[in-house]
Amino acid sequence: MTALEELMELSREPYNPLVKDWKEKGGKVIGFVCSYVPEEILHAAGLLPFRITPTGCTTTLEADAYFSRINCTFCRACLQMALEGKFGFLDGLVGINPCDHIRRLWDLWRLKAGLPFMKILSLPHRVHEGAVEWYKGEIQIFKGEVEKAFDTQINEDSLGKSIEIFNTSREWIRKLYDLRTKENPPLSGNEVTRIIVALLHIPREEGNKLLERLLNELENRKGISDYRARLMVAGGACDDPEFIEVIEKAGGLVVTDSLCFGSRYFFERVKTDDDLLRSLSMAYLNRPFCAGMAGGERNRLNFNLEMAQRFSVNGIVFQKIRWCDLWGGEAFYLGEKLKELGIPYLSLEREYWLSGQEQMKTRVQAFLEMIGK
């Protein structure tokens, strides 16, 4: 199997062969829902950090007894799978408070399907010097809790190694994105999303090997040329390759993004020549901002523009899951600005699983026609 095929395979379901393997060897798996959780700490403790995606979830029947129809379907789907025991392979869950929905997911998961190890970090919602110090403190406390719970020591040396490993995969992904700047990118947007989802669900060392192989394979893979327009996907969490596929089936090739399941997660390198915990806090907080960061409007806008230009896109598709207030509020500002700047902009609201596909296809097709493609 080629690396690409392997990655596609691994992206299909959370409990993939590599995780099974890890468990059988007696390894522990710790889940987390948001990209602001410092995985390196878990990795340095010999644990497998697992970014949770409700991949394959199609109903929220049980979850909706607690969550409601006005809560984010990504979180409802996560809770559903937790209640169904689909995340039974997790030995713990790291919570965080980027938004109300994810904070409440942590509450409901903990109270209705609690796991052995459950800790939560307090994420700042404004990025400044004091916040970096605060989050460093949070990571410090978290490190202590991990060491205590799994009775191990995380020292400069082991943490340094872990950071290097994660920096490496960040670097590979950046290389991968560089390939997408070409006129005929070797990968489609939904393939990239699948690659990233897979990477977040497997031991990172394995992931890096696969990425390295992939990059070699791609050198002589035929580029994609049968597309009507180059698009960028922006907005809230989007781990659903099928959603990207709807856009691409209509002829809009997704060549880049500003997503926490994409560029935002991979673009910040963690410094290793300084106080490591501080460097972690610094790197995580200084990533291109999530909408949860107050006063981050310009930061977000500029990152979007920068990416749009670097990947020479014809338009930006802003997507958010319905009921997401953070990105729903941001839409107000971003919409106004992109209009001012004359950048074609399509705003799509979606549920975690695709519903009303027909209407979405019509919108995307009309958008492509609108930008004359």
Partner 1 sequence: MVTAGVDIGSLTGKALIMKDNEILSWAMIPTGADGALTANKVMELALDKAGLSHHDVDYTVSTGYGRVITTFAQQNFSEISCHAKGAHWFFPDVRTILDMGGQDCKAIRCDETGKVTDFVMNDKCAAGAGRSIEVMADLLQIPLDRVGECSLDIKAAEIPISTVCVVFAKSEALSQLRRGKHKNDILAGVCRALSIRILSLLQRVGIEPQFVISGGIAKNIGIVQRLGEKMGLIPRICIEPQIVGALGAALFAREQIEKG
Partner 2 sequence: MITVGIDVGFLTTKAAISEGGKVIAFHEVLTGDSGREASAKAVKAALSSPAMDSKDIAKIVSTGAGKGDIPYDGEQATEMLCDVKGALYYFPLAKTVIDMGAECVRVIRCGPTGRVLDFGLNDKCAAGAGIFLDVIAKALEIDLVDIGTLSLQGKEDIDITATCSVFAESEVVGLIARGKDKASILAGILKSVANRIYTLANRVGIVQDVIFIGGGAKNVGLVKNLKTLFKKELLIPQNPQVIGAIGAALIAQERSQ
Partner 3 sequence: MTTADQKSNILEIIAKAYVNWFNAAKPENKWTLEPAVKYFEEAVKAREMGKPVVWGSFVSQPEIFWAMDMFPLTMENFSFLLALLPGNMGHKYIDIAERHHMADHLCSYNKTMMGLAFSGDIPKPDIIVHPLQPCDSGRITYSNMAEILGVPAFAIDIPLLRTERGYSYVADEFERMVSFLEEHTGRKLTYEKLKEAMEWSNRAYAYYFKADELKKNVPCPLGEAFIPPFYMAGRVECAEYAERLYGIGQAKVEKGEGFLREEKIRLGWFSTGAYFDMGMQPWIRKEFGASIVHTMLGSYPGPIEDISTTRKIFEGLARQLLELPMARETGGLAEGWMEYAIRICREYKLDAVFLTLNMGCKNAWALAKLLKDEIADRVGIPTLILEMDALDSRVVSSESIRSAITNFFNTILA
Question: Can you give the binding site for partner 1, defined by CB under 8 A?
Answer: 322, 349, 356, 358-359, 362-363, 365-366, 369-370, 372
Cβ-contact 46, 22 below 8 angstroms: no
Whose CA is closest to 91, among 44, 17, 150, 14? Answer: 150
- Would you say 69 or 128 has its CB closer to partner 2? 69
CA distance 300 to 171: 22
User: At which residue do the structure tokens 């709807």 appear?
Assistant: 246
CA distance 351 to 237: 11
CB atoms within 10 A of CB 46: 14
Residues 332-371, one symbol each (x = binds partner 2 by CB under 8 A, - = not), give ---------------------xxxxxx-------------
| Candidate residues 24, 25, 26, 70; the one interacting with partner 3 per rule CB under 8 A | 70
Distances (CA, A) of 27 to 12, 21, 91: 22, 9, 9
| Shortest CB 249 distance to partner 3, Å | 26
* Contact of residue 62 among partner 1, partner 3, partner 2, none (CB under 5-8 Å per partner type): partner 2
| Shortest CB 276 distance to partner 1, Å | 47
* Contact of residue 369 among partner 3, partner 2, partner 1, none (CB under 5-8 Å per partner type): partner 1
> With b meaning 16 or more CB within 10 Å and e meaning fewer, what string describes 26-43?
eebbbbbbbbbbbbbbbb
- Would you say 84 or 171 has its CB closer to partner 2? 84
Q: Roughly what angle, to the nearest 10 degrees, separates helices 156-179 and 204-219?
A: 30
H/E segment holding residue 349: strand 345-350
* Contact of residue 61 among partner 1, partner 3, partner 2, none (CB under 5-8 Å per partner type): partner 2
* Contact of residue 123 among partner 2, partner 1, partner 3, none (CB under 5-8 Å per partner type): partner 3
CA distance 55 to 105: 16
SS3 (DSSP) at 32:
strand
142 makes contact with partner 3 (CB under 8 A): no
CA distance 139 to 278: 9
- Residues whose CB is less than 8 angstroms from the CB of residue 241 and which lie 6 or more positions away in sequence, other chains included: 11, 190, 191, 193, 194, 197
* Contact of residue 305 among partner 2, partner 3, partner 1, none (CB under 5-8 Å per partner type): none
| Candidate residues 8, 46, 62, 267; the one interacting with partner 2 per rule CB under 8 A | 62
291 makes contact with partner 3 (CB under 8 A): yes
| Candidate residues 21, 156, 336, 369; the one interacting with partner 3 per rule CB under 8 A | 336
| Candidate residues 335, 341, 355, 369; the one interacting with partner 3 per rule CB under 8 A | 335
Q: Which residues bind partner 2 (CB under 8 A)?
A: 58-59, 61-62, 64-65, 353-358
Q: Which residues bind partner 3 (CB under 8 A)?
A: 65-72, 97, 99-101, 103-104, 106-108, 111, 120-126, 128, 130-131, 134, 137, 291-292, 294-298, 320, 322-333, 335-336, 347, 349
